[in-house]
A and B are shown apart, each in its own frame.
Chain A
Amino acid sequence: QQQVKQSPQSLIVQKGGISIINCAYENTAFDYFPWYQQFPGKGPALLIAIRPDVSEKKEGRFTISFNKSAKQFSLHIMDSQPGDSATYFCAATHSNYQLIWGAGTKLIIKP
């Protein structure tokens, strides 16, 4: 019930392509869904987040798509750049409960 399942584990995308990372959850009480980006040797940093009252949120090249009925949300990176190469984590929480983290996706953008 408290798990967040993230896929794929790793992803290689050509420069300029679209990177798509998917997450699924079970707990319908979750009401906050952030994505964190982590570079090697650094802590995670919030990239973008969504609440279930909207189906999509866009910030620059990064978009979260949210499907409440399917209990799924995904991160889309448009025009992927080598600087986007990092590990991406989805997470979910409700009512200030601890963040439940996905297992992470290692993204490599090939120049």
Chain B
Amino acid sequence: EPEVTQTPSHQVTQMGQEVILRCVPISNHLYFYWYRQILGQKVEFLVSFYNNEISEKSEIFDDQFSVERPDGSNFTLKIRSTKLEDSAMYFCASSGGGTNEKLFFGSGTQLSVL
């Protein structure tokens, strides 16, 4: 089965630093998402991306966050100035037909902000 690939698997950073989390969605998918999860708890929606623009974002996705699809394959999440509370597992997901279709998740990037 096709996979969503995320790198790195772990990222440690100092508070205030910028981080970029990278994702390669499934090649023929059109909808892309970032979610986060703190310590195996609730999955929290951050942002959805379609047709090269943000289609929806949550309250968590403030001005410190941005997403980009710099080329035809990568989908990135940038956190401009990390805070301690940004420490979480960040999941990228993609789907062929929006949230009413199967979302394929990557294995996540564990972000630790010190």
Question: Which of chain B's residues 41-75 have a Cβ closer than 8 Å to chain A?
Answer: 41-45, 48, 56, 58
From the candidates A36, A98, A104, name the one contacting B41 in the complex (CB within 8 A): A104
From the candidates A34, A43, A106, name the one contacting B93 in the complex (CB within 8 A): A43
Question: Which of chain B's residues 67-114 have a Cβ closer than 8 Å to chain A?
Answer: 91, 93, 98-100, 102-103, 105-108
CA distance A96 to B97 in the complex (A): 9
Nearest-neighbour CB distance to chain B for A73, whole angstroms, equals 16
CA distance A45 to B4 in the complex (A): 11
Contact status of A103 and B56, CB under 8 A, knowing A46-B102, A93-B100: no
Interface of A is mostly: loop
Scoring B residues 1 to 44 as 1 if CB is less than 8 Å from chain A, else 0, what string do you get?
00010000000000000000000000000000000000011111
Nearest-neighbour CB distance to chain B for A106, whole angstroms, equals 8
Nearest-neighbour CB distance to chain A for B103, whole angstroms, equals 7
Determine whether the beta carbon of A99 is less than 8 Å from that of B103: yes
Determine whether the beta carbon of B45 is less than 8 Å from that of A87: no
Scoring A residues 88 to 111 as 1 if CB is less than 8 Å from chain B, else 0, what string do you get?
010001011111011110100000
Determine whether the beta carbon of B45 is less than 8 Å from that of A99: yes
**In the assembled complex, A32 has its CB within 8 A of some CB on chain B:** yes
Known A42-B108, A93-B100; further 5 A-B contacts with Cβ < 8 A: A44-B105, A87-B40, A101-B43, A101-B44, A104-B40
Q: Please report A residues at the B interface, Cβ cutoff 8 Å.
A: 31-32, 34, 36, 40-46, 49, 87, 89, 93, 95-99, 101-104, 106
13 contacting pairs across A/B (C-beta < 8 A)? A31-B100, A32-B99, A40-B40, A41-B107, A43-B93, A44-B43, A44-B91, A49-B102, A95-B100, A98-B48, A98-B56, A99-B103, A103-B42
